[in-house]
Amino acid sequence: MSPNKIAALALLSLVALPATSQDKVLNLYSARHYQTDEALYTDFTKQTGIKINRIEAGENELLERLRNEGAYSPADVFLTVDAARLGKAEEMGLFAPVKSAVLTQRIPAHLRTDTWFSFSQRARVIVANKTRVNAADVQTYESLANPKLKSQVCVRSGAHPYNLSLGAAILNHHGEQKTQAWAKGLVENFARAPKGGDTDQIKAVAAGECGVALANSYYVARMLRSDKPEDKRVMENVTVIWPNQKTTGAHMNISGGGMLKTAPNKESAVKFLEYLASNQAQVYFADGNNEWPVVASVKTSNPGLAAMGNFKADTVKVGALAAKQAEVQKIYDRAGWR
Protein backbone atom coordinates (compact mmCIF):
# COMPACT_ATOMS: atom_id res chain seq x y z
CA MET A 1 0.00 0.00 0.00
CA SER A 2 1.35 3.45 -0.88
CA PRO A 3 2.20 5.97 1.89
CA ASN A 4 -0.56 8.29 0.65
CA LYS A 5 -3.17 5.55 1.01
CA ILE A 6 -1.90 4.68 4.49
CA ALA A 7 -2.24 8.29 5.55
CA ALA A 8 -5.70 8.56 4.06
CA LEU A 9 -6.88 5.45 5.87
CA ALA A 10 -5.40 6.71 9.13
CA LEU A 11 -7.25 9.99 8.87
CA LEU A 12 -10.51 8.25 8.06
CA SER A 13 -10.13 5.92 11.03
CA LEU A 14 -9.65 8.63 13.64
CA VAL A 15 -12.63 8.76 15.97
CA ALA A 16 -14.02 12.29 16.00
CA LEU A 17 -16.84 14.57 15.07
CA PRO A 18 -16.74 15.87 11.51
CA ALA A 19 -14.40 18.84 11.23
CA THR A 20 -13.99 21.60 8.68
CA SER A 21 -10.62 22.86 7.49
CA GLN A 22 -11.03 25.87 9.80
CA ASP A 23 -11.47 23.75 12.93
CA LYS A 24 -8.59 23.41 15.37
CA VAL A 25 -7.81 19.73 15.93
CA LEU A 26 -5.41 17.45 17.72
CA ASN A 27 -4.76 13.93 16.43
CA LEU A 28 -3.84 11.75 19.38
CA TYR A 29 -2.43 8.21 19.40
CA SER A 30 -2.82 6.85 22.93
CA ALA A 31 -1.82 3.57 24.56
CA ARG A 32 -3.52 4.62 27.79
CA HIS A 33 -6.74 2.62 28.14
CA TYR A 34 -8.44 4.27 31.07
CA GLN A 35 -12.05 5.42 30.81
CA THR A 36 -11.30 8.20 33.25
CA ASP A 37 -9.08 9.86 30.62
CA GLU A 38 -12.29 10.90 28.86
CA ALA A 39 -12.52 13.73 31.38
CA LEU A 40 -9.10 14.97 30.27
CA TYR A 41 -10.10 15.14 26.62
CA THR A 42 -13.47 16.75 27.29
CA ASP A 43 -11.97 19.41 29.56
CA PHE A 44 -9.18 20.22 27.09
CA THR A 45 -11.67 20.78 24.26
CA LYS A 46 -13.87 22.87 26.53
CA GLN A 47 -10.95 25.11 27.50
CA THR A 48 -9.32 25.48 24.08
CA GLY A 49 -11.94 24.69 21.45
CA ILE A 50 -9.50 22.14 20.00
CA LYS A 51 -11.20 18.88 19.01
CA ILE A 52 -9.36 15.67 19.80
CA ASN A 53 -9.36 12.90 17.21
CA ARG A 54 -7.86 9.81 18.77
CA ILE A 55 -6.83 6.25 18.16
CA GLU A 56 -6.35 3.99 21.17
CA ALA A 57 -4.43 0.74 20.84
CA GLY A 58 -1.49 -1.15 22.33
CA GLU A 59 1.81 0.70 22.31
CA ASN A 60 3.49 -1.78 19.94
CA GLU A 61 0.61 -1.52 17.50
CA LEU A 62 0.70 2.28 17.60
CA LEU A 63 4.48 2.43 17.21
CA GLU A 64 4.29 0.10 14.22
CA ARG A 65 1.54 2.25 12.77
CA LEU A 66 3.64 5.38 13.19
CA ARG A 67 6.58 3.61 11.54
CA ASN A 68 4.45 2.61 8.55
CA GLU A 69 2.82 6.02 8.20
CA GLY A 70 6.15 7.82 8.30
CA ALA A 71 6.06 11.44 7.15
CA TYR A 72 2.40 11.02 6.16
CA SER A 73 1.20 10.25 9.68
CA PRO A 74 -1.72 12.38 10.88
CA ALA A 75 -0.70 11.91 14.54
CA ASP A 76 0.31 14.95 16.59
CA VAL A 77 0.91 13.42 20.03
CA PHE A 78 1.78 9.93 21.27
CA LEU A 79 0.86 8.98 24.85
CA THR A 80 1.82 5.77 26.64
CA VAL A 81 2.95 4.40 30.00
CA ASP A 82 6.46 3.73 31.29
CA ALA A 83 9.84 5.22 30.38
CA ALA A 84 10.69 2.00 28.51
CA ARG A 85 7.97 2.58 25.93
CA LEU A 86 8.60 6.30 25.59
CA GLY A 87 12.29 5.55 25.17
CA LYS A 88 11.46 3.13 22.37
CA ALA A 89 9.52 5.84 20.54
CA GLU A 90 12.45 8.19 20.99
CA GLU A 91 14.89 5.58 19.61
CA MET A 92 12.67 5.36 16.54
CA GLY A 93 13.13 9.10 16.04
CA LEU A 94 9.42 9.83 16.40
CA PHE A 95 9.48 12.74 18.85
CA ALA A 96 10.27 16.39 18.16
CA PRO A 97 11.95 18.64 20.74
CA VAL A 98 9.44 20.85 22.54
CA LYS A 99 10.36 24.23 23.99
CA SER A 100 7.75 25.25 26.53
CA ALA A 101 8.24 27.43 29.59
CA VAL A 102 5.09 25.90 31.07
CA LEU A 103 6.40 22.33 30.83
CA THR A 104 9.87 23.31 32.03
CA GLN A 105 8.51 25.13 35.06
CA ARG A 106 5.87 22.61 36.10
CA ILE A 107 7.50 19.23 35.40
CA PRO A 108 10.62 18.40 37.47
CA ALA A 109 13.80 17.98 35.43
CA HIS A 110 14.21 14.29 36.31
CA LEU A 111 10.72 13.56 34.94
CA ARG A 112 11.26 14.95 31.43
CA THR A 113 13.65 14.83 28.50
CA ASP A 114 14.07 17.24 25.61
CA THR A 115 11.41 15.41 23.62
CA TRP A 116 8.98 13.72 26.03
CA PHE A 117 7.40 14.45 29.37
CA SER A 118 6.00 12.56 32.35
CA PHE A 119 2.48 13.57 33.36
CA SER A 120 1.73 11.07 36.14
CA GLN A 121 3.62 8.68 38.40
CA ARG A 122 3.07 5.23 39.87
CA ALA A 123 5.43 3.54 42.33
CA ARG A 124 6.75 -0.03 42.18
CA VAL A 125 5.91 -1.32 45.66
CA ILE A 126 6.44 -4.57 47.53
CA VAL A 127 3.36 -6.51 48.66
CA ALA A 128 3.89 -9.10 51.41
CA ASN A 129 1.70 -11.79 52.95
CA LYS A 130 1.09 -10.84 56.59
CA THR A 131 1.62 -14.34 57.95
CA ARG A 132 4.21 -15.85 55.59
CA VAL A 133 6.77 -13.04 55.47
CA ASN A 134 8.20 -10.68 58.07
CA ALA A 135 7.80 -7.22 56.57
CA ALA A 136 11.09 -6.18 58.19
CA ASP A 137 12.87 -8.65 55.87
CA VAL A 138 11.58 -7.09 52.65
CA GLN A 139 12.19 -3.37 53.01
CA THR A 140 14.22 -3.03 49.79
CA TYR A 141 14.18 -4.28 46.21
CA GLU A 142 17.59 -5.79 46.88
CA SER A 143 16.17 -7.90 49.74
CA LEU A 144 13.99 -9.84 47.28
CA ALA A 145 17.17 -11.66 46.18
CA ASN A 146 17.96 -12.79 49.75
CA PRO A 147 18.12 -16.63 49.97
CA LYS A 148 15.79 -16.55 52.99
CA LEU A 149 12.98 -15.79 50.49
CA LYS A 150 13.54 -19.05 48.59
CA SER A 151 10.30 -20.04 46.78
CA GLN A 152 8.53 -16.94 48.10
CA VAL A 153 8.62 -14.39 45.25
CA CYS A 154 5.88 -13.88 42.66
CA VAL A 155 6.40 -11.48 39.77
CA ARG A 156 5.29 -10.87 36.21
CA SER A 157 7.52 -11.31 33.15
CA GLY A 158 10.99 -9.83 33.12
CA ALA A 159 10.28 -8.58 29.60
CA HIS A 160 7.51 -6.32 30.86
CA PRO A 161 8.42 -2.59 30.79
CA TYR A 162 7.50 -2.16 34.48
CA ASN A 163 10.21 -4.61 35.49
CA LEU A 164 12.67 -3.40 32.87
CA SER A 165 12.42 0.15 34.22
CA LEU A 166 12.91 -1.10 37.78
CA GLY A 167 16.00 -2.97 36.62
CA ALA A 168 17.24 0.17 34.90
CA ALA A 169 16.95 2.07 38.17
CA ILE A 170 18.87 -0.65 40.03
CA LEU A 171 21.49 -0.68 37.27
CA ASN A 172 21.80 3.09 37.52
CA HIS A 173 22.39 2.91 41.28
CA HIS A 174 24.49 -0.28 41.57
CA GLY A 175 26.13 -1.03 38.24
CA GLU A 176 26.01 -4.13 36.05
CA GLN A 177 27.71 -6.68 38.32
CA LYS A 178 25.47 -6.08 41.33
CA THR A 179 22.36 -5.85 39.18
CA GLN A 180 23.19 -9.19 37.57
CA ALA A 181 23.63 -10.75 41.01
CA TRP A 182 20.32 -9.28 42.14
CA ALA A 183 18.45 -10.62 39.11
CA LYS A 184 20.00 -14.08 39.61
CA GLY A 185 19.04 -14.15 43.28
CA LEU A 186 15.52 -12.97 42.50
CA VAL A 187 15.00 -15.73 39.94
CA GLU A 188 16.27 -18.32 42.42
CA ASN A 189 13.57 -17.14 44.84
CA PHE A 190 10.64 -17.49 42.43
CA ALA A 191 7.63 -19.30 43.87
CA ARG A 192 6.40 -20.00 40.33
CA ALA A 193 7.22 -19.08 36.75
CA PRO A 194 6.41 -15.43 36.01
CA LYS A 195 2.84 -14.98 34.78
CA GLY A 196 -0.11 -12.63 34.91
CA GLY A 197 -0.34 -8.93 35.68
CA ASP A 198 0.28 -6.99 38.87
CA THR A 199 -3.22 -7.62 40.26
CA ASP A 200 -2.57 -11.36 39.85
CA GLN A 201 0.60 -11.02 41.92
CA ILE A 202 -1.25 -9.23 44.73
CA LYS A 203 -3.96 -11.91 44.81
CA ALA A 204 -1.35 -14.68 44.80
CA VAL A 205 0.35 -13.12 47.83
CA ALA A 206 -2.97 -12.79 49.65
CA ALA A 207 -3.81 -16.43 48.91
CA GLY A 208 -0.46 -17.63 50.25
CA GLU A 209 0.72 -18.92 46.89
CA CYS A 210 3.78 -16.77 47.47
CA GLY A 211 5.02 -14.60 50.29
CA VAL A 212 5.98 -11.43 48.46
CA ALA A 213 5.54 -9.71 45.09
CA LEU A 214 6.15 -6.52 43.14
CA ALA A 215 3.21 -4.42 41.98
CA ASN A 216 2.55 -0.94 40.66
CA SER A 217 0.91 1.27 43.23
CA TYR A 218 -2.16 2.15 41.19
CA TYR A 219 -3.23 -1.50 41.22
CA VAL A 220 -2.92 -1.45 45.01
CA ALA A 221 -4.84 1.83 45.29
CA ARG A 222 -7.56 0.47 43.01
CA MET A 223 -8.07 -2.50 45.31
CA LEU A 224 -7.96 -0.32 48.43
CA ARG A 225 -10.75 1.81 46.94
CA SER A 226 -12.81 -1.19 45.83
CA ASP A 227 -16.16 -2.00 47.43
CA LYS A 228 -15.97 -5.64 46.35
CA PRO A 229 -15.80 -8.03 49.33
CA GLU A 230 -13.21 -10.20 47.57
CA ASP A 231 -10.89 -7.21 47.05
CA LYS A 232 -11.29 -6.18 50.68
CA ARG A 233 -10.31 -9.69 51.78
CA VAL A 234 -7.24 -9.60 49.57
CA MET A 235 -6.03 -6.31 51.05
CA GLU A 236 -6.69 -7.54 54.61
CA ASN A 237 -4.16 -10.32 54.05
CA VAL A 238 -1.29 -8.24 52.67
CA THR A 239 1.08 -5.52 53.80
CA VAL A 240 2.14 -2.82 51.33
CA ILE A 241 5.77 -1.80 51.73
CA TRP A 242 7.49 1.30 50.41
CA PRO A 243 10.91 0.01 49.31
CA ASN A 244 14.31 1.61 49.86
CA GLN A 245 13.10 4.40 52.12
CA LYS A 246 16.50 4.65 53.84
CA THR A 247 18.44 4.71 50.56
CA THR A 248 17.36 5.61 47.04
CA GLY A 249 13.58 5.75 47.54
CA ALA A 250 10.79 3.83 45.80
CA HIS A 251 11.17 3.33 42.06
CA MET A 252 8.67 5.40 40.08
CA ASN A 253 7.09 4.35 36.81
CA ILE A 254 5.57 7.15 34.76
CA SER A 255 2.95 7.86 32.14
CA GLY A 256 3.77 10.47 29.54
CA GLY A 257 4.07 11.53 25.94
CA GLY A 258 5.47 13.90 23.39
CA MET A 259 4.86 15.72 20.13
CA LEU A 260 5.69 13.81 16.96
CA LYS A 261 8.15 15.17 14.41
CA THR A 262 5.60 14.87 11.64
CA ALA A 263 2.76 16.49 13.63
CA PRO A 264 0.52 18.51 11.27
CA ASN A 265 -0.96 20.46 14.20
CA LYS A 266 2.09 21.42 16.23
CA GLU A 267 0.48 24.38 18.00
CA SER A 268 -2.38 22.18 19.19
CA ALA A 269 0.11 19.49 20.24
CA VAL A 270 2.08 21.84 22.50
CA LYS A 271 -1.14 23.22 24.00
CA PHE A 272 -2.29 19.69 24.78
CA LEU A 273 1.01 18.74 26.43
CA GLU A 274 0.90 21.93 28.48
CA TYR A 275 -2.70 21.17 29.46
CA LEU A 276 -1.65 17.74 30.78
CA ALA A 277 0.64 19.58 33.22
CA SER A 278 -2.20 21.85 34.41
CA ASN A 279 -3.76 21.55 37.85
CA GLN A 280 -7.02 20.24 36.40
CA ALA A 281 -5.37 17.48 34.38
CA GLN A 282 -3.07 16.49 37.19
CA VAL A 283 -6.06 15.99 39.49
CA TYR A 284 -7.78 13.89 36.81
CA PHE A 285 -4.74 11.60 36.67
CA ALA A 286 -4.73 11.21 40.46
CA ASP A 287 -8.43 10.81 41.12
CA GLY A 288 -9.29 8.94 37.95
CA ASN A 289 -6.54 6.35 37.74
CA ASN A 290 -4.86 6.39 41.15
CA GLU A 291 -1.65 7.97 39.88
CA TRP A 292 0.40 10.65 41.59
CA PRO A 293 0.73 14.08 39.96
CA VAL A 294 4.14 15.08 38.64
CA VAL A 295 3.51 18.72 39.55
CA ALA A 296 4.58 19.01 43.18
CA SER A 297 2.10 21.75 44.07
CA VAL A 298 -0.92 19.65 43.05
CA LYS A 299 -2.54 17.79 45.92
CA THR A 300 -4.87 14.83 45.62
CA SER A 301 -7.75 13.70 47.83
CA ASN A 302 -7.68 10.16 46.40
CA PRO A 303 -8.47 7.84 49.37
CA GLY A 304 -6.56 4.92 47.86
CA LEU A 305 -3.36 6.95 47.56
CA ALA A 306 -3.89 8.46 51.00
CA ALA A 307 -4.26 4.98 52.51
CA MET A 308 -0.75 4.09 51.37
CA GLY A 309 0.76 7.06 53.20
CA ASN A 310 3.75 9.26 52.44
CA PHE A 311 6.98 7.92 51.00
CA LYS A 312 10.37 8.82 49.58
CA ALA A 313 10.54 8.55 45.77
CA ASP A 314 13.58 7.72 43.67
CA THR A 315 14.60 10.69 41.51
CA VAL A 316 16.70 8.91 38.90
CA LYS A 317 16.19 10.62 35.53
CA VAL A 318 13.53 9.04 33.31
CA GLY A 319 15.84 9.46 30.34
CA ALA A 320 18.41 7.27 32.08
CA LEU A 321 15.77 4.61 32.70
CA ALA A 322 14.81 4.61 29.04
CA ALA A 323 18.43 4.42 27.87
CA LYS A 324 19.22 1.22 29.82
CA GLN A 325 16.33 -0.98 28.68
CA ALA A 326 18.30 -3.17 26.27
CA GLU A 327 21.10 -3.69 28.80
CA VAL A 328 18.61 -4.68 31.52
CA GLN A 329 16.88 -7.14 29.21
CA LYS A 330 20.22 -8.87 28.61
CA ILE A 331 20.80 -9.07 32.36
CA TYR A 332 17.37 -10.60 32.91
CA ASP A 333 17.87 -13.06 30.06
CA ARG A 334 21.15 -14.25 31.54
CA ALA A 335 19.46 -14.67 34.92
CA GLY A 336 16.58 -16.64 33.40
CA TRP A 337 13.90 -14.05 34.15
CA ARG A 338 11.67 -14.27 31.11
Tell me what pLDDT residue 19 has.
41
Q: In 3D, which of 110, 136, 141, 75 has the Cα closest to residue 294?
A: 110
* CATH top-level class of 3-120+253-301: alpha beta
- Identity at 327, one-letter amino acid code: E
- Let me know how long the chain is: 338
Per-residue pLDDT of the chain (338 residues; tens, 9 = 90+): 444 444 434 443 444 333 444 469 999 999 987 777 888 999 999 999 999 999 999 999 999 999 999 999 999 999 999 999 999 999 999 999 999 999 999 999 999 999 999 999 999 999 999 999 999 999 999 999 999 999 999 999 999 999 999 999 999 999 999 999 999 999 999 999 999 999 999 999 999 999 999 999 999 999 999 999 999 999 999 999 999 999 999 999 899 999 999 999 999 999 999 999 999 999 998 888 899 999 999 988 888 888 888 999 999 999 999 999 999 999 999 999 99
Contact 198, 157 (CB under 8 A): no
Q: Helix, strand or coil for residue 190?
A: strand
At the topology level, CATH places domain 122-251+314-335 in D-Maltodextrin-Binding Protein; domain 2 (3.40.190)
Beta bridge partners of 125: 215
33 is an annotated ligand-binding site residue: yes
- Is 127 in contact with 201 (CB distance < 8 Å)? yes
* φ/ψ of residue 262, rounded to 5: -95, 10
Whether 3-120+253-301 shares its CATH topology with 122-251+314-335 is answered yes
Residue type, 331: I
Tell me the H-state helices in the chain. 3-13, 37-48, 59-69, 83-91, 101-106, 161-174, 176-188, 198-206, 217-225, 229-236, 266-276, 279-289, 303-308, 318-323, 325-335
218 is in an annotated binding site: yes
pTM of the model: 0.88
Q: Map out the domains of the chain as residue ranges.
A: 3-120+253-301, 122-251+314-335
Of 31, 50, 34, the closest CA to residue 42 belongs to: 50
- Under a CB-based contact definition with an 8 Å cutoff, are residues 254 and 111 in contact? yes
Residue 23: per-residue pLDDT: 67
34 labeled binding residue: no
**Residue among 247, 257, 242 nearest 318 (CA):** 257
For residues 69, 281, 288 and 252, what is the CA-based torsion angle, rounded to 10 degrees? 80
